[in-house]
Every structure is written in C-alpha cells, then in structure tokens.
Amino acid sequence: MDIPRIFNITESAHRIHNPITAEKLATLGAALRLESGTRVLDLGSGSGEMLCTWARDYGIIGTGIDMSQLFSEQAKRRAVELGVAEQVKFIHDDATGYVSDEKVDVAACVGATWIGGEVAGTIELLARSLRTGGLILIGEPYWRQLPPTEEVAKGCLAGSISDFLMLPELLVSFGRLGYDVVEMVLADQDGWDRYEAAKWLTMRRWLEANPNDELAKEVRAQLTSEPERYAAYTREYLGWGVFALMPR
C-alpha cells in the first residue's frame, strides 16, 4: 500500500509536506497552549515533523498514520533524531476511518482532508477520537483571491473554483458544521515557496540520478513547467491554513 510514486519522488526531501514552515508549526503549537503529556492524533502525518517537534518542544505524546511508506520511515527516523521516539508512534497505513482506542486531546488532519471525504467528513472522523473539550485541527487551502475563471482554478491544480472557499467563508463553514474556530495559523507565500520550490531541486537531482526511470519523462515535464505554473497561479491565488476547532 502506498501513495502514487510521483509524490514519494518530488517530496522525498521535504520534512513538511505543506506550505506551513517549521517556525509556523512551532507558532501553532504555542498558540494551542500544548502541555506536556497532551495526546495528539495526526491523520496523514507525512514525515512526522509536527508530532516530532511538538514532542521535543512541548512534551506531547503522539500517534501519526500515513499511507506513504517512505514518509512513515522518515517520520520514525526523525523521532529518533530529535530524541522523541518514546513519545511518538508512526503507523504506515490508510487512515480512512481510523478512530483511536483511547480518546485524544488534539485530533489533526493537516492537508489531507480527502481522508474523510472532504472537510466535513474529516471533522466527523476526527471527532470520534476526541475527548470532550479537545481540539480538532484541520489544514486546508482557501482562495487568497477568487480565481476569475475556471481556467485559473485549474492552474492552481484545483478541479474547479468551487473546490475551495475564500477565508471568511471557510471560517463560516466551520460554524455551520457546529464548530467554533478557536485559533488559526495561516501560511504565506514564502511558506508556499518552501513547499513548492523545494520540489524543483529534488526533481532535478532525482533526474540526474534516475535518467532511465519510467517516471523520468513525467518528472522532466513537471520540472520544466512547474516554476511558471506555480508563480502564475498557486502562489497568487491559493491560501492555506491550519484551523483549530471546538464543538459548540
């Protein structure tokens, strides 16, 4: 079981597979007033940077589940590297329908909301693992500027304009689902650069090491077209944030 191989290639050198930076992850941990011993569940935990650094900096105890074998291995290595292997556990699995045996204080899905079939379903799924009074974290894109045409939305790799909301509407939508938004940390364009531009050097080096790979043509095409596409569309139109929610 794994995610499509192209992501394991283009994001192999990423510690964070989202436009949030290490600094902003720390800001988020501080904003949530995490205490030592806080139990955190993370669906789609990627290479584990959020859980590992929060374990180091705030003493949390965490479980992450991710479908990428490579990212899950990287997460385990990162936990050892940061000296928190006793505090965090990473499971290589499909997180669809995952509910923890023990209730957690923080239930997160940061940039992988398709796991629950979009935002509403993911919130519902996370709520099943959450103790009363706990926090749900959702990482999700929104439109920084509304795309003037469907073509621009597609340039952002969205299926259509209706895939995402503007920030005020996204915040209202959490209310409609019965949740208060109690904190948020938003990515910025520099953070998008760290996520997107970091793929280019990875792709270039991968191509040099794997010229005859079956994906070499696809990676070559992406490396050629991505800088312009990203600068013209995603960087201008797409916002991204992590939203902390509590049921009303």
Count the neighbouring beta carbons within 10 Å of the beta carbon of residue 235: 17
44 is a contact residue toward ligand SAH (CB under 6 A): yes
CA end-to-end distance (rounded Å), the chain: 37
Q: Which region, judged by CB under 6 A, interacts with ligand SAH, from 59-67, 153-161, 171-179, 184-192?
A: 59-67
Residue 121's φ and ψ, nearest 5 degrees, are: -65, -35
Q: Which residues, 6 or more positions from 1, have their beta carbon under 8 angstroms from its beta carbon?
A: 67, 69, 92, 93, 94
10 is a contact residue toward ligand SAH (CB under 6 A): no
Q: Is the dihedral of CA 131, 132, 134, 139 positive or negative?
A: positive
225 is a contact residue toward ligand SAH (CB under 6 A): no
155 is a contact residue toward ligand SAH (CB under 6 A): no
Q: Of 150 and 163, which CB lies nearer to ligand SAH in the complex structure?
A: 163
- Per-residue b/e over 52-73, b at no fewer than 16 CB within 10 Å? bbbbbebebbbbbbbbbebbbe
Instruction: Please pick, from the candidates 22, 91, 96, 150, the single residue that binds ligand SAH as defined by CB under 6 A.
Output: 96
Instruction: Please pick, from the candidates 18, 21, 113, 234, the single residue that binds ligand SAH as defined by CB under 6 A.
Output: 18
Q: Of 71 and 143, which CB lies nearer to ligand SAH in the complex structure?
A: 71
Q: Which region, judged by CB under 6 A, interacts with ligand SAH, from 52-60, 63-71, 150-158, 222-230?
A: 63-71
Phi-psi region of 46 (alpha: psi -120 to 50; beta: other; left: phi over 0): left
23 is a contact residue toward ligand SAH (CB under 6 A): no
Instruction: Please pick, from the candidates 34, 75, 112, 119, the single residue that binds ligand SAH as defined by CB under 6 A.
Output: 112
Q: Which region, judged by CB under 6 A, interacts with ligand SAH, from 60-68, 123-131, 170-178, 195-203?
A: 60-68
26 is a contact residue toward ligand SAH (CB under 6 A): no
Q: Which region, judged by CB under 6 A, interacts with ligand SAH, from 31-39, 91-99, 145-153, 175-183?
A: 91-99
Residue of minimal CB distance from ligand SAH?
46
What are the C-alpha distances in Å from 108 to residues 4, 65, 171, 204, 240?
23, 11, 17, 33, 15
Closest separation in Å from C-beta 231 to ligand SAH: 22
Q: Which residues, 6 or more positions from 52, have their beta carbon under 8 angstroms from its beta carbon?
A: 75, 78, 79, 82, 84, 88
The residues of the shown chain that bind ligand SAH, judged by CB under 6 A, are: 3, 16-18, 44-46, 49, 65-68, 71, 94-96, 110-112, 115
